[in-house]
Structure formats: structure tokens, C-alpha cells
Structure 1
Amino acid sequence: MIDLNADSGESFSHWTMGDDAEMMGIVTSANIACGFHAGDPSVMHATVRSAVEHGVAVGAHVSYRDLDHFGRVFVDIAPGELTDEVLYQIGALQAMARAVGSRVSYVKPHGALYNSIVDNTAQAEAVARAIAAADDSLAVLCLPGSEIGRIAGEAGLRVVHEAFADRAYNPDGTLVSRQLPGAVLHDPRAIAARVVRMAVHHEVEAIDGSIVGVEATSICVHGDTPGAVTIAASVRHALTDAGVALSRFS
């Protein structure tokens, strides 16, 4: 049994990113942008409503305040300020969820913030403080072996580890930088086979050909990857065919 999550709600005003309507019929959890890297109040509200209609778990996809770069540039922000900004984003999505009779059940940092808190202790502590302050029943979706996972766990928060369907891995289990060739995968069949290997055999082939152990409760398919819906559908069908049930971790 495994969860399938996707980044959602990343459109902004009249600019569209991804196909959330189709994705909601495939995934079990939706990481919904909270307005700092993408999304706006109307997009957030509509995306939460769609998730609820499809029985998909609602997660806060929090980010650095960086619309210009889609949240993919590191920001050397003071920890106290980062805590406030993450708390603000969670609170905004919580309000949207309450408005449609639902709730936010987990938090997943986005982009550069996600990568930063793999090893940046100060920023990981800031994010964990924000999550605990917002609602200490919220789960934290993160990379295995990360600082945010360690710190959140020590703070009593539920930690859920994820793996990435469409991202290349380094031999140490971190993700290959998007600035490098081959960082993002695009072949639906190859990605689907890779995910089955993750779910069944708990391993993935790194970019250098070495084998990396994977212990994940959730698999992420990026909603902004070209062909994301086809990729997600291929992953879901392959998992089902392999006898792996899809179920929201929350």
C-alpha cells in the first residue's frame, strides 16, 4: 500500500500550470500551493474543493516567498521570519479547507525550501516550529534522512517519507539538481517501472548506476512536469498491476 502525491494549485490568475482536474482523479494526496511560489486565493479555494470532491488528502505546499522564480531559488532568510512565513501559508490553506468542510492534514515544503531543509538545520528548525504552531497533528512529508525529518520527529510531529517518481537521484539519496542534465525524467513507462521497483523492492537506481535504498510511504509525481497526467496514470496503473494498493497516508 502506498500514497501517490502531486503538486497542485500552481496556476496564478489567468496563467495555468498543470492539469489539476485530471490529476485529482489519479493521486491520493495533493500538495496545494499556498501563494508564495504559485497559486492565489481563488486557485487555492478551487483546488481544495476539487481535492475534497475526489477524496484526495489536502496538504500545504509551503515555499520561500518567491513568485519570480517559482520557489526554486534558495533564500537566506532569518529563521524567525521563515517560521512566520510558513505559518502564514499553512493558515491560509487551513482557512480555505475549512470553507469547504475539510482540513489540511500535512505539510510538504516546495522546491528550494524542500532541498534546503534536507541539511540546513536552522531552516529545518524554523519550518518545524511553524508546523507545530499551526497544528501539531499535521504530518510532515519529506525526504528520508533529512534534517526536517529528524527535527520534526524529535518535536513529536508525524514524519512521512516520500520518494520521487520523475526525479533523478544522487548516490547519497538526495535529488539531482534541476540545473543538471537528466534531473527530470519524462518517459512514462520507464518512470512507472521505476516506481514499482521503489514500492516493491525499496530501491532506485541513482544517476551513476548505483542502487539506493528507498523506504517511502508516498510517491511524488510533479504536476508541472510535461506530460504529468500521463506519467501519473502510468504510475498508478503499474502499481495496481503489481499488487500495490493506492491509499492516502493521512
Structure 2
Amino acid sequence: MTRTVDLNADMGEGFGAWNLGDDAALLDIVTSANIACGFHAGDWDVMAKTMANAREKGTGIGAHPGFPDLHGFGRRRMDIPHASLANLVRYQLGAAQAMATAAGTKVRHLKLHGALANMASEDQDMARACYEGALSVDPDIIVMVLAGTAQQAAVAELGCAAACEIFADRAYNDDATLVDRKLPGSVIHDPKQAGQRMVDMVREGAIITASGKRIETRIDTICLHGDTPTAVAIAAEVRRALKDSGVELAQFTGAPI
């Protein structure tokens, strides 16, 4: 099996004196970083430090906008009109671009966070509103989408550069959406299990759901969450398993769907 895949992780999710995740360790493993923009997590100092560290490692930088929900870490659903959602994304992307420029680098992709991403994976019009907001700021930005969902349908309709993402540590429903975190088995904590399931999915070119269903999809990047206790171990094992299976690791190019 000779394929190329990107590894991405959500980063910069501390706030003030509070740290979350081991970003330094993850930057030695991943090829792309999704950096929080201050609404669900992160702040100006955390963003600046994370951007600089990612630049030093040669890691691709992405803006990671979420709902304005620091207390709930952006994982609580909110009802926001589509026009306002577009502005919400524009606002956070602009902040990420400013911090990246100051750090001597640039934002190359955008990925929605948490409940905003989950809702957009179910609602194509909502996804399109978010992505149109980003594209109005940077028409060349690569939009990272949850593979096989309404997010992917939205970028296909828009014709923009895209990267299709699957998750190493999350279980899937049969419609390619993620199993709710409140349910048992929704988050995978065993590094060996995570590594093998990523090899299987990349080999088959398909999402393998919790029920065993196969959903054929393009796979450009694999998400490794940074806020779980075994995050670094999972990331390292996924990287090792893929490389041992003949998969090359490199930043995605962002081809249209």
C-alpha cells in the first residue's frame, strides 16, 4: 500500500495560565496543526506561541474556529443565524492570519471545531455559510472537512480547495458523523486500536463505522486530538502503524472534491 496522508492535531487550546494537551510533543508527530482562535479555547499569547512553534517545525498551520463557548470548550450546540456564522468564522480566521503573519508564517487551511463542526457535518447550508465566510477572506484557503458528511458536500458545491479528514480516536455513526461523546465507546483511548483502524481505513479508502459499515471516501488527513489522556501515545502509534504499512506522511495539497 503506497499512499500519502497528512496527520493533523488541534492545538493552542490552553488559556491564560491553564495548559491543555502536549502541543510540543504533538508537533514532533503531526504534519498539520489546527490552532484555536480564542473563542472555544486559546488566547493571543497561546496563539502566538503555538504559531511560532509550528513554524519552527515546518508544520502546516490552520485556523480552528469554534462557537463562542470557552466554558463548554465549544462542544455545546448553539443556534446562530447563517449570516452571523459567516462573520464568526471571518473574525476568527482574521485573528489567526494576523498572528501567523507576525510569527513569519501563514494560515494554509481552516477546520471547524467541536459542536460547530458537528452541526455543519449534518447541515450542508450551515457548512456552506461557514466556508463562504472563510473564502471571502482567503479564496485560496484549504477547507478541511469531515469526510463523507454534509461538510464535504458543501465544499464540492463551492469548488474550493479541500482536505477530507477522518478521526483516529473517534467512533463513527453509519452516516459518517461522529458518535456523540456522551455515549460509551465514542472516544478511542487504546493506541494500538487507533493505529490499526487508521491503517484499515486508509487501505480500504473508507470510513469504518462502529457497526462495521464501510463508507467509501477520499482520505487526505487524519485527526489526532490533543486533549485526551493518551493523545500523544495515540498520535505516535498511528504514525508508526501507517509508516510500517507503507503510507507516506506529508501535508495535504488541497485538491477540490
TM-score (norm 1): 0.96
What does residue 168 of structure 1 align with?
A: 171
Q: Does 1:185 align with 2:165?
A: no
What does residue 40 of structure 2 align with?
A: 37
Cα 1:68–1:244, aligned 2, differ >3 Å: closer, same or farther?
Answer: same
Determine which of 79, 95, 100 is the counterpart of 1:92.
95
Residue by residue over 1:39-83, the C-alpha shift from the partner in whole angstroms, topping out at 9 and shown as x without a partner, is 000000100111110010000011111111100111100111111
Q: What fraction of aligned residue pairs are identical, expressed as a percent?
A: 46
2:148/2:217 contact within 8 Å kept: no
Query: How far does residue 204 in structure 1 lie from its aligned partner after superposition?
Result: 4.3
Q: Does 1:80 align with 2:110?
A: no
What does residue 223 of structure 2 align with?
A: 220
Q: How many residues align?
A: 250
Q: Does 1:101 align with 2:104?
A: yes
Query: How far does residue 146 in structure 1 lie from its aligned partner after superposition?
Result: 2.7
Residue by residue over 1:203-222, the C-alpha shift from the partner in whole angstroms, topping out at 9 and shown as x without a partner, is 34322233333431000011
What does residue 214 of structure 2 align with?
A: 211
Q: Does 1:156 align with 2:152?
A: no
Q: Does 1:65 align with 2:76?
A: no
1:140/1:149 contact within 8 Å kept: no
Residue by residue over 1:7-32, the C-alpha shift from the partner in whole angstroms, topping out at 9 and shown as x without a partner, is 00001111110000010010000010
One-letter amino acid of the counterpart of residue 134, structure 2: I
2:124/2:153 contact within 8 Å kept: no
What does residue 133 of structure 1 align with?
A: 136
Give structure 1 stretches of 5+ with no counterpart. none
Q: Does 1:117 align with 2:98?
A: no
2:54/2:61 contact within 8 Å kept: yes
Q: Relative to structure 2, which stretch is displaced further, 206-215 or 113-122?
A: 206-215
Secondary structure in 2 aligned to 1:212? strand
Query: How far does residue 132 in structure 1 lie from its aligned partner after superposition?
Result: 1.0
Please, what is the CA RMSD of the aligned residues? Answer: 1.3
| CA distance in 2 between partners of 1:128 and 1:93 (Å) | 16
| CA distance in 2 between partners of 1:208 and 1:188 (Å) | 20
Secondary structure in 2 aligned to 1:104? coil
Secondary structure in 2 aligned to 1:60? strand
One-letter amino acid of the counterpart of residue 143, structure 1: L
Secondary structure in 2 aligned to 1:31? strand
What does residue 231 of structure 1 align with?
A: 234
Determine which of 27, 46, 50 is the counterpart of 2:49.
46
What does residue 16 of structure 1 align with?
A: 19
TM-score (norm 2): 0.93
Give structure 2 stretches of 5+ with no counterpart. none
What does residue 3 of structure 1 align with?
A: 6
Query: How far does residue 133 in structure 1 lie from its aligned partner after superposition?
Result: 1.1
| CA distance in 2 between partners of 1:155 and 1:73 (Å) | 27
